Chains A and B, each alone.
Chain A
């Protein structure tokens, strides 16, 4: 009964999406307010029905109704409740349902909070959302229906992939999808602007908060996924340049560029055509990511789906939306008026530079991800493009970006003073040089690039702080006044500084993790001691334990540093009987931002166990950086400017245009 209700709700949501995608457009054409307002009610109703459908699937998983194929294949009655719920999106059908639910959520939010949008713009935006939603509802109903029944229901399910039975699954996919799908809003706004043939600074003001929300979630989602891979896969890597990871990195790079170009458009009414193109590209890359992950065209850690019918269907959606929006762009973009001019050395110029490097970096990731696929289709040769390729392309493109980053916020709009900005960055530059010199002396004979990279990171962080200090007048005016000024600064300024500093923090973590690792790999008997980076790890005992749906072998290590016992670490190896597969549960010991990491291998006939022990200095900074960036984004989002003042009609905004 629940399954049928969920299925029916999904069909109704499709019908509503079809209405939402057609009626408001006609309304906008005829200037009929009632018809345009249909968009609002259908978007909200659609959200209601797809939420009902999703709830139905969650309930089926919670009550372990194995007469439903999806539940049978991915659940087990002994599975803990949390994994019964998260298992809903741990498979192809469920994760697509989550995808459309989030799409409908964003559509619903625009409908509910978009009262200050011009009526026709809102109608167009929601209609475009309706097209996307309709395409994906069709995809689910035709190729990936999660509500199908089995004629003779089995008693027990086949259980969820053990690697996915982790808290990471509860957080990572929803976050990532909130990011991916969130970019659909800026896409819809861009297409709506192209249809209307009208775009102005107010448009950028409406789009920016939505882009920012999506960007925050995508940042956190990627960081979360990376940390999950780090502790779950058992060999301590945190980024593999796996095509699926690249699929989420590409929209992030394009989305970051979009955030910055939208600033130029909002403040200076320039780069309009480019911003529209970036909006389209960002969501296209999200769709491409969905295609790569969901079609099974790649075999990788995340490839759950293997059915070619699905691949072809998503490919059609991909071609339709990307091709359609780009043709519309080619046809209409010239109708958009060009905005204000600026000198190459200016805040705008710096943001253009940012966009150039981010999109070029994005393009290299794109090539590295798709080239092997293209080559296999064309010549049949199988190649793998791994970390070396990306280190040689992505890395060098990020260096100038990071060098330029601290300068940008210090330059004035329209015409900047590079020398003045450099003067204000003296402190950051000196800090960076000191850091480089100290590190060279300390790691004498080690990697030469590492101290330079750390120096760059210090420069980035120092630059962000100098910008704040400069604006507060710190060290120039009395401390109390500076603090008061600091509180008075727009939150967006704080947000920018924190997000930029976050990049530097993450870079320090990345460099320390890649160059400063110490490891011990070997076999250990009980009472053996291993030494890694000054820590002594004694293997106390190896025990067996029965978990809810697995058996596990636990090794207990006592960690001591300078004779002082710190903690007991218990890595384990789990064997899942239903799937006949095992997972390695690494044990982590956090000391400041550094971590000790133990993962287990096989046990041999003499009772010795293979172990891998890593000491990873400052590794946590890799994830604190993105968290800081997301927090900066959140501060920006709470800026007064984005909450009030957005609903300015186009004419008022045009009056602000500078005389050039």
Chain B
């Protein structure tokens, strides 16, 4: 092999690996990315049943019903729309009525959101960032969400929690 051939082999090999990596990324981008919606955004976009997305909003006060065997029903509201959610499992430590929640799953044929994961990725104002931004955008942000325990100083460090 000459010097030039060796170099070409190297460059060819590198390009091949990069091409494979790029193809993998593009393929994964198509299938495995989940969008975030509030109930009204989900209605606007006519999300088809079975399409996975992340639903965010406030847990509607008084909507939480615990069934047998850890089955849970609750509604997620964003001020203008509500969406019923069913979930089976243990709710995270910081799940509370009237506070923010993000659930991942898909709508079923009857328009009920079947969640397989309920996240409580909050800061200490009990408001997930995505939810807070979406609510602010729709003008439903109330400053008193921020007046929860311990959130007095503006420099309060955000608090990570469990999922």
Contact = CB atoms under 8 A, between A and B. Distances in A.
B157 A163 contact: no
Interface stretch (A116-124, A178-186, A317-325, A379-387): A379-387
Interface string A377-419: 0000111111011011100110000000000000000000000
B35 A383 contact: yes
B157 A521 contact: no
Interface string B1-33: 101001001100110011011001101110111
A303 B36 contact: no
Contacts of B24: 364, 392-393, 396-397
B21 A393 contact: yes
Contacts of B159: 161, 163, 304, 579, 581
A580 interface: yes
A352 interface: yes
Nearest to A660: B3
Contact of B163 (A233, A302, A305, A341): A233
A396 B162 CA distance: 30
Interface in A192-251: 233-235, 237, 240
Contacts of A601: 70, 90-91
Interface stretch (B74-82, B105-113, B123-131): B123-131
Contact of B124 (A299, A357, A581, A584): A581
A321 to B, nearest CB: 26
A353 B14 CA distance: 8
B70 A384 contact: no
A301 interface: yes
A158 interface: yes
Interface string B90-131: 110110000000001000000000000000010110001110
Interface in A350-374: 352-353, 356-357, 360-361, 363-364, 367-368, 371
Contacts of B93: 234, 573, 581-584
Given A341-B6, A393-B21, A523-B70, A388 B32 contact: yes
Contacts of B28: 388-389, 392-393
Contacts of A109: none
Interface string B121-162: 101100011100100000000000000011001011111111
Nearest first, the 9 closest Cβ-Cβ pairs linking A and B are A388-B32, A601-B90, A382-B36, A392-B28, A299-B129, A360-B21, A580-B149, A301-B160, A393-B24
28 contacts: A73-B153, A73-B157, A92-B157, A161-B157, A163-B162, A234-B162, A296-B158, A299-B121, A299-B128, A301-B161, A304-B159, A305-B157, A344-B6, A344-B10, A344-B13, A381-B35, A382-B54, A389-B28, A392-B32, A393-B24, A522-B70, A578-B150, A579-B124, A584-B93, A601-B70, A602-B91, A604-B66, A610-B90
B130 A382 contact: yes
Given A384-B33, A579-B150, A73 B162 contact: no
A612 interface: yes
Contacts of A234: 93, 162
B17 A357 contact: yes
Given A386-B34, A521-B89, A601-B91, 11 more contacts: A73-B155, A163-B160, A299-B130, A301-B160, A303-B160, A305-B158, A360-B20, A521-B70, A581-B94, A582-B93, A610-B90
Contacts of A392: 24, 27-28, 31-32
A397 B150 contact: no
Interface of B: 1, 3, 6, 9-10, 13-14, 17-18, 20-21, 24-25, 27-29, 31-36, 54, 66, 69-70, 89-91, 93-94, 104, 121, 123-124, 128-130, 133, 149-150, 153, 155-163
Nearest to A375: B33
By secondary structure, the B interface counts as mixed
Interface of A: 69, 73-74, 91-92, 158, 161, 163, 233-235, 237, 240, 296, 299-307, 341-344, 352-353, 356-357, 360-361, 363-364, 367-368, 371, 381-386, 388-389, 391-393, 396-397, 521-523, 573, 578-584, 601-602, 604, 610, 612
Contacts of B69: 522-523
Given A299-B121, A300-B121, A579-B159, A397 B33 contact: no
A73 B124 CA distance: 13
Contacts of A240: 163
B31 A388 contact: yes
A580 B99 CA distance: 14
A356 B14 contact: yes
Contacts of A581: 93-94, 124, 159, 161
Contacts of A383: 33-36
B3 A341 contact: yes
Contact of B157 (A74, A341, A342, A385): A74
Contacts of B157: 73-74, 91-92, 161, 304-306
B1 A302 contact: no
Contacts of A367: 25
Nearest to A601: B90
B130 to A, nearest CB: 6
Contacts of A523: 69-70
B129 A384 contact: no
Contact of A579 (B6, B14, B32, B149): B149
B29 A353 contact: no
Contact of A302 (B128, B160, B162): B160
A303 B160 CA distance: 7
A265 to B, nearest CB: 16
A386 B158 contact: no
Contacts of A341: 3, 6
A382 B160 contact: no
A455 B149 CA distance: 53
A344 B90 CA distance: 54
B54 A306 contact: no
B29 to A, nearest CB: 7
B21 A364 contact: yes
B14 to A, nearest CB: 6
A601 B156 CA distance: 28
Contact of B17 (A356, A381, A584): A356
B162 A235 contact: yes
Contacts of A391: 32
A384 B150 contact: no
Contact of A384 (B10, B34, B90): B34
A233 B160 CA distance: 10
B62 to A, nearest CB: 17
A70 to B, nearest CB: 10
Contacts of B18: 360
Contacts of A371: 29
A364 B25 contact: yes
B130 A389 contact: no
Contacts of A578: 150
Nearest to A612: B90
A389 B162 contact: no
Nearest to A372: B33
Given A344-B10, A523-B69, A393 B160 contact: no
A172 B27 CA distance: 35
A10 B13 CA distance: 50
- The listed residue with most A CB atoms (<10 A of its CB), out of B6, B18, B32, B124, is B32
